[in-house]
């Protein structure tokens, strides 16, 4: 590896001379790999890795997702779902932590599954993840424009009684062209950042976390000091000022009670019909589990992690879901305290279905709070948190597949030129290749309905996670030599049963349950769209085919690709 680069204290730098606890690996035969060093630079310390994972999870994004959760699952008490969801996710996190400690190389599940089961399965699993991640890079670029910018303008317009800002929010919300070009600017910025040395990518992530954290603290202070009665009075006063109409009836006011009554009338239900219930809690747990996605992201940067892998990945992968759970539990509790469950459900349904009077922006708490503030700039800043979160998602979920492509090329599944790195250790070829595909995904998201398949993205994601958990369960038995060479914590056992086996089996079961639950109509609120659902198994099969073709080509050249894929790649 190249020498460590100096990182600021904010980045959580460790002493460059610290001894790394890296497992022994088989001797790499000359000529097997593209080169005998990856060229990637270890610049990411434990605290930086933790914050980057939290950016990929989005510590305030549930202020956005709560709109959809309240609409789809009105009887779910989201605060109660957090305690159960975090237990499931900690099991998965433990498996990733152990595998990332045993095989600290870039590529994540490509390396884990490929070295434990078979390289074709590792490639197919990793291709499925990469396909989803690149799709998300395009999707969240669009979300930045479609939801983020109108929320900023809407918050500013409501608090400042600014009709121009409100009109601009409505214009951008309804203009695909505006959304595409704003999204293109965001995606272009992410690509440029991705061409910088890794330390700058993670410094950007740290900056995103710090601003998001500030917004979270401000929101918690506002919410827990503002009871629902105060919000109701302020909302009603603003409704008078903005001359809104109730359910489209001129001369009436769109009060809080009007919003609720409009929903009751349109949905033909009542307060009793949306009261918290156990049935809603069950499906709500699935939704909350999905909110935790992102804590294993640093597993894909194994060759750029600084310090002992067990410590760095332990804090990042195992620590992030614990901290995230505490944050979103507070988030949901504060949201219910200020806005009330009934109003959230009604506002979310009215916005999604278009019942009654429209809203200047999606009724996220980060926008609703503008009705109780008296500072337009503060309202816009809080709403900016969602836009910033989407920017962080684009950055993280664009960077991850660049490391995956790098790992594929390093193992010669793809042409070797794809693994080229700059003098600063940046895999620039993969960045440029995936940049093109990300722009295609942005265009498809904005102008077509093809990306409707992302309704089932969680189906594909957790299917791949389940395979990784099974790989962890079988690791001690299929790769005993590598298992015994792993750090001591990886070899923890309960009697004669390796702990990773027990947790791996349980976590695989939980993952496959989410696979099922995220596809059924009770979760999606629509009949199963088999053509969209089948896309992810098809991507997996395509991965098997690509690997098979590469295997044949390399064997014809006299290259023992089987031997390459049985060894860990060089540092």
Percentage of the chain modeled with pLDDT above 90? 47
Cα end-to-end distance, the chain, whole Å: 6
Given this model, what pLDDT does residue 386 score?
95
Given this model, what pLDDT does residue 179 score?
95
Question: Residue 40 has what DSSP assignment?
Answer: -
Asked if 399 and 405 touch (Cβ cutoff 8 Å), the reply is no
Asked if 426 and 401 touch (Cβ cutoff 8 Å), the reply is no
Asked if 420 and 408 touch (Cβ cutoff 8 Å), the reply is no
For residue range 520-539, what is the model confidence (pLDDT) as tens digits? 787 776 788 888 888 889 99
> pLDDT confidence of 562, banded at 50, 70, 90?
low
Question: Residue 19 has what DSSP assignment?
Answer: P
The whole-number average pLDDT for the span 316-332 is: 94
Given this model, what pLDDT does residue 40 score?
53
Given this model, what pLDDT does residue 248 score?
54
Question: Residue 493 has what DSSP assignment?
Answer: E
The whole-number average pLDDT for the span 386-403 is: 93
Q: Using alpha carbons, list the distances in angstroms from residue 446 to 173, 178, 184, 393.
A: 12, 10, 11, 17
Q: Provide the 3-class DSSP secondary structure of residue 301.
A: strand
Instruction: Say which residue, 73 or 267, is predicted with more confidence.
Output: 73
Look at 3-17, 21-35, 310-324 and tell me which has the smallest mean pLDDT. Answer: 3-17
Asked if 240 and 253 touch (Cβ cutoff 8 Å), the reply is yes
554: Cβ contacts below 8 Å, ≥ 6 apart: 412, 561
For residue range 481-520, what is the model confidence (pLDDT) as tens digits? 999 999 999 999 998 899 999 999 999 999 998 888 888 7
Q: If we measure between CA atoms, which residue out of 88, 120, 49 comes closest to residue 310?
A: 49
How far is residue 75 CA from its own chain's centroid? Answer: 25
Given this model, what pLDDT does residue 8 score?
34
Tell me the torsion sign for CA atoms 143, 146, 147, 148: positive
Residue with tokens 């089932």, as numbered in its chain: 456
* Residue 91 pLDDT exceeds 90: yes
Given this model, what pLDDT does residue 297 score?
87
Domain boundaries 27-472+514-564, CATH class: mainly alpha
Look at 51-65, 344-358, 503-517 and tell me which has the smallest mean pLDDT. Answer: 344-358
Nearest-angstrom CA–CA distance, 138 and 145: 11
Assigned token pair, 512: 């496959």
Task: State which of 17-31, 96-110, 262-276, 475-489 shows the largest mean pLDDT.
Answer: 475-489
CA dihedral 426, 429, 435, 437 (to 10 degrees): -140
Given this model, what pLDDT does residue 39 score?
47
Instruction: Say which residue, 29 or 68, is predicted with more confidence.
Output: 68
* Residue 107 pLDDT exceeds 90: no
For residue range 209-261, what is the model confidence (pLDDT) as tens digits? 999 999 999 999 999 999 999 999 988 887 655 545 565 554 455 788 888 88
For residue range 129-140, what is the model confidence (pLDDT) as tens digits? 899 999 999 999
Look at 234-243, 395-404, 559-568 and tell me which has the smallest mean pLDDT. Answer: 559-568
Given this model, what pLDDT does residue 273 score?
79
pTM: 0.86
Given this model, what pLDDT does residue 505 score?
96
Nearest-angstrom CA–CA distance, 328 and 83: 10
Q: If we measure between CA atoms, which residue out of 338, 324, 326, 323 comes closest to residue 219?
A: 338
For residue range 171-204, what is the model confidence (pLDDT) as tens digits? 998 899 999 999 999 999 999 999 998 888 889 9
Q: Provide the 3-class DSSP secondary structure of residue 44.
A: strand
For residue range 261-285, what is the model confidence (pLDDT) as tens digits? 888 888 778 777 788 877 777 777 8
Instruction: State the average pLDDT for the chain.
Output: 84
Residue with tokens 């088989």, as numbered in its chain: 26
SS (H, E, C) 486-532: CCHHHHCEECCEEHHHHHHHHHHHHHHHHHHHCCCHHHHCCCCCHHH
The whole-number average pLDDT for the span 442-449 is: 91
Given this model, what pLDDT does residue 250 score?
46
């Amino acid at each position: 590896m190249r020498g460590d680069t100096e990182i600021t204290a904010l980045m959580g730098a460790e002493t460059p001379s610290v001894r790394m606890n890296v497992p022994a690996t088989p001797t790499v035969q000359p000529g097997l790999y593209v080169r005998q060093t990856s060229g990637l630079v270890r610049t990411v310390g434990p605290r930086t890795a933790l914050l980057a994972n939290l950016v990929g999870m989005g510590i305030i994004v549930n202020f956005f997702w709560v709109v959809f959760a309240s609409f789809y699952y009105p009887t779910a008490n989201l605060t109660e779902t957090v305690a159960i969801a975090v237990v499931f996710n900690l099991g998965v996190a433990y498996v990733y932590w152990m595998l990332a400690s045993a095989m600290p190389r870039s590529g994540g599940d490509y390396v884990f599954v490929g070295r434990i089961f078979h390289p074709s399965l590792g490639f197919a699993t990793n291709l499925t993840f990469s396909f989803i991640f690149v799709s998300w890079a395009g999707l969240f670029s669009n979300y930045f424009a479609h939801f983020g910018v109108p929320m900023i303008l809407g918050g500013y317009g409501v608090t400042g009684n600014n009709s121009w800002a409100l009109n601009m929010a409505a214009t951008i919300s309804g203009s695909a062209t505006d959304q595409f070009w704003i999204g293109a600017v965001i995606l272009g910025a992410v690509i440029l950042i991705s061409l910088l040395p890794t330390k700058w990518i993670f410094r950007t992530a740290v900056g995103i976390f710090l601003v998001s954290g500030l917004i979270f603290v401000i929101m918690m202070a506002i919410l827990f000091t503002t009871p629902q009665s105060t919000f109701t009075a302020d909302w009603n006063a603003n409704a008078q000022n903005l001359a809104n109409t109730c359910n489209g009836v001129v001369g009436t006011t769109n009060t809080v009670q009007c919003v609720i009554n409009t929903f009751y009338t349109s949905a033909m239900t009542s307060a009793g019909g949306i009261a918290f219930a156990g049935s809603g809690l069950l499906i709500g747990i699935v939704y909350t589990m999905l909110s935790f996605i992102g804590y294993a992201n640093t597993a894909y940067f194994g060759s750029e992690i600084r310090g002992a892998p067990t410590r760095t990945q332990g804090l990042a992968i195992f620590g992030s879901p614990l901290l995230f759970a505490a944050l979103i539990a507070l988030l949901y509790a504060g949201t219910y305290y200020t806005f009330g469950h009934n109003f959230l459900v009604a506002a979310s349904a009215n916005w999604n279905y278009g019942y009654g009077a429209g809203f200047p922006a999606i009724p996220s708490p980060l926008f609703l709070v503008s009705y109780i503030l008296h500072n337009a700039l503060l309202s816009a800043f809080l709403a900016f948190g969602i836009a910033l979160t989407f920017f962080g998602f684009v950055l993280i979920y664009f960077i991850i597949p660049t490391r995956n492509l790098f790992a594929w090329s390093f193992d010669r599944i793809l042409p070797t030129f794809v693994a080229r790195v700059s003098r600063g250790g940046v895999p620039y070829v993969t960045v440029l290749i995936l940049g093109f595909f990300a722009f295609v995904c942005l265009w498809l998201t904005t102008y077509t309905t093809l990306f409707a398949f992302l309704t089932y993205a969680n189906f594909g994601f957790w299917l791949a996670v389940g395979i990784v958990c099974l790989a962890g369960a079988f690791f001690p038995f299929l790769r005993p030599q590598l298992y015994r060479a792993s750090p001591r914590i990886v070899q923890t056992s309960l009697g004669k049963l390796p702990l990773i086996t027990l947790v791996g089996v349980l976590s695989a079961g939980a993952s496959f349950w989410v696979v099922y639950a995220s596809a059924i109509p009770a979760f999606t609120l629509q009949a199963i769209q088999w053509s969209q659902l089948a896309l992810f198994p098809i991507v997996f099969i395509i991965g098997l085919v690509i690997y098979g073709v590469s295997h044949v080509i390399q064997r014809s050249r006299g290259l023992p690709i089987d031997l390459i894929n049985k060894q860990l790649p060089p540092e």
